[in-house]
Structure formats: C-alpha cells, structure tokens
Amino acid sequence: MTSHDFTDSGNRAPLSYRHADVFTAKAFTGNSLAVFPEAPCLSTAQMLAITQELRHFETIFLSGSGEGGEVAARVFDLFEELDFAGHPILGAAAVLHERDGGSGERHWRFRLPRKTVAVTTHRTATGYHAVLDQGRPEFLATIPAQNRLEIAAALRLPESVLADLPLEVVSTGLRYLIVPVVAGLAEAKIVRDDFAELIARHGAQFAYLVDVGALEGRHWNNDGVMEDVATGSAAGCVGAYLAKHRIVPVEEEFVLRQGRFTGRPSLLTVLPQGRPEDLHNVRVGGEVTMVAQGTLDALPG
C-alpha cells in the first residue's frame, strides 16, 4: 500500500466525521466541509458515495495518525476525486488541531495523490485560523485575443466588462482559467453546455471570474448548476495572477471575497510571495469554525 492508498475493508462502521465551515469566523457561512480524520479503510467508490450522501461541496478523508503532523488525504466533490483543493485541506488541518489540542501554532503536511502541501494552524477566539502554502504557481497559457469574446459570452458577460488584462490559465495544483472583469459579477453565469470542452481547449479544468477592482470572485462547476462558495485552490491562482500583473503587491496579504451570491459570504486571505515576474509561493488562508460532529452508522457497500 502506498502512502496515498486507502484500503477497503468492507462495511466497517461506525465512522466519525466533523462538520466545519471554512473561510469564516461564523457558523453557517463560509464553505461547509465534512472531515473524516481517520478513514483508512474506504474504497474510492465508498468515499464518493459518502460525499454524495452528505451533500457538502467537498469531503476530505484522512489516513494516518498525524504523527509528526503528516497525513495522507483524499478529496472528493460530488462528482469525482480532486487532485488538489484548498478549503478541505484548511478545514482538515483545523480538525486535526482540535483533536490533538494545544493553543500554540501547529504545522501539518498533507500528502495528496499528486502533491504534498504544508498547512499552519492556530487557535482563535471563534475556532481556528489555517494557512496553506500552495507552492510555485504555473502560468500555462494565455487565451488568444480572438477567443476572448467567446469565453465572455459563455459566462453571460458583455465583452465590455472584461478588464484590459489577458485571460490566463494558472495552476497551483488545479488549472484555472482566470477571467478578469471590472463589472458584471452579479449577472455572470455559465450558459454553455459544452463549457468544460471550451476551456479544455486552452488547457484549463475550471474557470474563475474575478473583479480586479473589488477583489471579489465567483466559480461554478462546469455544468453551471452549482456555484462554489469559496474556492481555496483558485484563490492561489488568482493571487499569483494579480501579483504578476501588479494589481496587488507581492509580499502583502490581501482579502479575496467570494460567496456573496450563494448567501454564504466568505473571506480568503491571499499572500503572493517572490517577485511579480518570479513568484515562488502563494499562501491562502482563512478562519475555520466548527459546526457539528456526526457518525456514520453504516457504510456504502
């Protein structure tokens, strides 16, 4: 078994989990999450079925005791396993800190299937604060000028609201097409059934819409049906993009807002590190609030 494997041992139960809200200091706002701190005996199919049953936007399953602050992790949304995600890792780190106790700063390493990341946590008056090092951003592609209008139309945006900046594909683990605008967030929506195919032509997995003046963003599943509340993985890409184009200064933390249009306002702190032309890391953080705890009395077969 590799460090990323979770071995299926059948329908063992009960299995406990923690419900946390991430990127908020107030319960029932932010991005909700289910964390299974000890789930070494589940198959991929079982983890996906549990995620779909609980109906959080994402669920994270951990394996290992966390000795030395290191655990294996697998993250699922309602459709599939993700190679990387922000808010599940931040929430999981806070849950581990709560489990192990201590008021001082704690350091964790999460081994994902294709990437290992570091997280720092500390207690706050309302819960925990967690910060994730997403590593060196990659700038993978710039959208040709002749395709800007097509992408704007797919997001129900007039070309006039696009910022005078390039549309770029950026990755810190997942490949996001960053679409910068100066207005139009409220009216935006994915309106093409083939949106995933459209952005895949340019090498992107997802798209993130960011108002470069207000520092506020929106993100949807590619079918356009479900809007994400707060997208930690995308926030690192946005921070790198804004720093590269000198919209925000490097080595200074800024706040990215998201979730207003879902009724769950969220605050994501972002810190691009390095030089605009040579960024070596992006840190994304936020508050984590514990909401509930539960136990699965049965597991999917």
From the list 35, 42, 32, 33, the residue with the least C-alpha distance to 7 is 42
Q: At 239, list the tokens.
A: 């921070």
The answer to whether 281 and 264 have CB atoms below 8 angstroms apart is no
For residue 66, the model assigns a pLDDT of: 66
Is the backbone peptide bond immediately before 276 cis, with ω within 30 degrees of 0?
Answer: no
Domains of the chain: 15-133+288-296 (3.10.310.10), 138-284 (3.10.310.10)
CA distance 61 to 38: 7
Q: Which residues pair with 284 in a beta bridge?
A: 132, 270
Q: What pLDDT score was predicted for residue 255?
A: 98
What are 256's two structure tokens? 């990215």
In the prediction, which pLDDT does 12 show?
Answer: 56
Tokens of 266: 């969220």
pLDDT at position 14:
81
Q: Model's pTM, two decimal places?
A: 0.91
Q: What pLDDT, on a 0 to 100 scale, did the predictor assign at position 258?
A: 98
Q: What is d(CA 295, CA 46) in angstroms, rounded to the nearest whole number?
A: 15
Q: Quick one: three-class SS letters along the chain?
A: CCCCCCCCCCCCCCEEEEEEEECCCCCCCCEEEEEECCCCCCCHHHHHHHHHHHCCCEEEEEECCCHHHEEEEEEEECCCEECCCCHHHHHHHHHHHHHHCCCCCEEEEEECCCCEEEEEEEECCCCEEEEEECCCCEEEEECCHHHHHHHHHHCCCCHHHECCCCCEEEECCCEEEEEEECCCCCCCCCCCCCHHHHHHCCCCCEEEEEECCCCEEECECCCCCCECCCCHHHHHHHHHHHHHCCCCCCCCCEEEEECHHHCCCEEEEEEEEEECCEEEEEEEEEEEEEEEEEEECCCCC
What pLDDT sits at residue 5?
Answer: 45
Q: Which residues pair with 275 in a beta bridge?
A: 278
Phi-psi region of 127 (alpha: psi -120 to 50; beta: other; left: phi over 0): left
- Rounded Cα distance, 56 and 299, in Å: 17
> Which stretches in the chain have pLDDT values below 70?
1-13, 65-67
User: What is the structure's pLDDT at 57?
Assistant: 86
